[in-house]
Amino acid sequence: MVLAILIIYVLFVVGIGIYCRKKAGTVDDYVLGGRSVGPWLTAFAYGTSYFSAVIFVGYAGKFGWSYGLATTWVGIGNALIGSLMAWVILGRRTRIMTKHFDSSTMPQFFEKRFNSKTLKIISALIVFVFLIPYTASVYNGLSRLFEMAFQIDYSYCVIGMAVITAVYVIIGGYKATAINDFVQGIIMIVGIVAVILATLASKGGFTEAVNQLSQVSTAGTPTPDLNGGFASFFGPDPMNLLGVIILTSLGTWGLPQMVHKFYAIKDEKSIKTGTIVSTAFAFIIAGGSYFLGGFGRIFVTDEQFAEIGSDGVVPKMLETLPEILIGIVVVLVLSASMSTLSSLVLTSSSTLTLDLIKPFSKGKIDEKRSLIIMRVLIAVFLIVSVVIALNKNALISDLMGYSWGALAGAFLAPFMYGLFWKGVTRASVYASFIVGVGATVLHMIIKPTGTFLGFSLASPVNLGALTMIAGLIIVPIVSLITPRMKKEEVDEIFSCYEEKNEVVVTEAIGGDKN
């Protein structure tokens, strides 16, 4: 039954890729869907790119185990900050300014917003390098679930996943991923609701499950005497929980694969609709995933946890579900993961082609060759990330923490400020890049210990949160003490927000002029 559901699903998504093949004949069509993607497709593309096996398996399992039911706050933060506020604050301005620049990637935005080809090259390299560990974390989470459902070797799961994703993205481009994302999003909504209800029912329902969770000892946590422990409002470790909320919520504002969705949206009305739809989607998927993970300790014993690790908590919780529900879970996580993977590989390949290879070709690469190079690079990117994913010792949360910390730590502040403030300087962008990437690389090498303001410095997740906050502080400070861009350049850039209309006014006969 599970295998049959899986085969039908795979054939369906590949079929959509083939269907969209003729709609991906130009670079603009292939990368942005011709900037004509409607609100529902864009909203679901945003949401399904946001949430994958990394959230459902890795983060829900790890942080549900660490913080209990309070982990649900992460899902709420994802909905309000990562979706609602991102659309409201960034959506419209991103669409207008990137259209004005005729830019298809984030590095192109940095080049044209700050008149610097060097910034484009550096940011393109950052994108390509640090999207790889995030892609590996998606493979990691999905493959662990496949092992549970099919008893298939982990490595075969990783390779099979890469092949399926490659087929429909290489053939159909952004339009294929957007349509697939919509279908995958519907599956995710139905799946997460069904799984939560069935899982809690196995423990006697919600009230009984919460009661059992409240009895679990919090010994060894920062606040072991906290009333209610893992069933309390803020959990046994509020400060480090806050670090997870910041990374997974604010991080979307600076991730190329997320911001890219705003480039492709159709019109003003689509932004308003997309805001509502994507926020509701995030509440259901992220809120549901973290809520479910919060009950991990009543399904997995300490001895079992020591054996399977945090990445094995959610798969262990689902083992006792009926076969049909396991099939739904597999398709749910496959849907989430394939949508995220397609977004990652498309972002990476387009960035490398348009921002690194094509500029150095001195006009020798035309539209057709650009498409060929992008498709080849998708395959290369997938192969590299598969090699990393085959290292099962790498925790999903660590891989994502380093990836988001470097990317959002480097890009979030200069991108957001660059949309609103004329005073952002090139030097401040370089400073943000150095802090985001430099802090991440140093953390990977040094592996620090101790705490800072209550945050564990050993956690890559907290590192990512701190680099984002640092960027938001550093960019305005550096901008105030370094040379600004020429006023004429900046005024021309921001002219895209000024719409001029000529209105003919007819005065009524005998009207009062006062």
Instruction: Quote the pLDDT of residue 23.
Output: 57
Residue 58 has, within 13 A of its CA and on its CB side, a CA count of 28
CATH architecture of the region 2-394: Up-down Bundle (1.20)
Contact 168, 180 (CB under 8 A): yes
Separation of alpha carbons 374 and 29, rounded Å = 13
The DSSP symbol for 88 reads I
375 φ/ψ angles, rounded to the nearest 5 degrees = -65, -35
Using alpha carbons, select from 75, 63, 61, 68 the residue that is nearest to residue 228. Answer: 68
Residues 394-426 have pLDDT tens digits of 566 677 788 888 999 999 999 999 999 999 999
- Give the distance from CA 47 to its chain's centroid: 8
Q: What pTM was computed for the model?
A: 0.81
What are the φ and ψ backbone dihedral angles of 452, each rounded to 5 degrees?
-140, 115
**DSSP secondary structure code for residue 6 in this structure:** H
Q: For the chain, what percentages of helix, strand and coil (3-state, to nearest 5) are there? A: 80, 0, 20
Question: What's the pLDDT score for residue 24?
Answer: 52
One digit per residue, pLDDT tens: the chain, 514 residues? 666 766 777 777 677 666 666 555 555 555 555 455 667 777 777 877 787 666 777 788 888 888 889 999 999 999 999 999 999 999 889 888 988 888 878 888 999 999 998 998 898 889 888 887 777 777 666 666 666 666 767 677 777 777 777 776 666 566 666 676 777 778 778 888 888 888 888 888 888 988 888 888 776 666 665 555 788 778 778 888 888 899 889 988 998 888 878 887 777 777 888 899 899 989 998 999 899 989 988 888 888 888 888 778 887 887 777 777 777 777 767 766 766 777 677 777 777 777 767 766 666 666 677 777 777 777 777 777 777 667 656 566 677 788 888 999 999 999 999 999 999 999 999 999 999 999 999 988 888 877 777 777 788 888 888 899 999 999 999 999 999 999 999 999 898 887 554 445 544 444 454 4
Question: pLDDT tens digits, residue range 45-72?
Answer: 787 778 766 677 778 888 888 888 999 9
> β-pairing, 455-456 with 451-452?
antiparallel
Q: Which pLDDT score is estimated for 256?
A: 85
Q: Which residues make beta-bridge pairs with 455?
A: 452
* Residue 72 confidence (pLDDT): 93
Q: What 3 state SS string does 325-391 have?
A: HHHHHHHHHHHHHHHHHHHHHHHHHHHHHHHHHHHHCCCCCCHHHHHHHHHHHHHHHHHHHHHHHCC
Q: Which residues pair with 456 in a beta bridge?
A: 451
- 408 Cβ partners below 8 Å, 6+ apart? 247, 250, 251, 252, 253, 254, 255, 436, 464, 467, 468
Name residue 265's beta-bridge partners.
Answer: 37
Tell me which residue has tokens 């909320």.
245
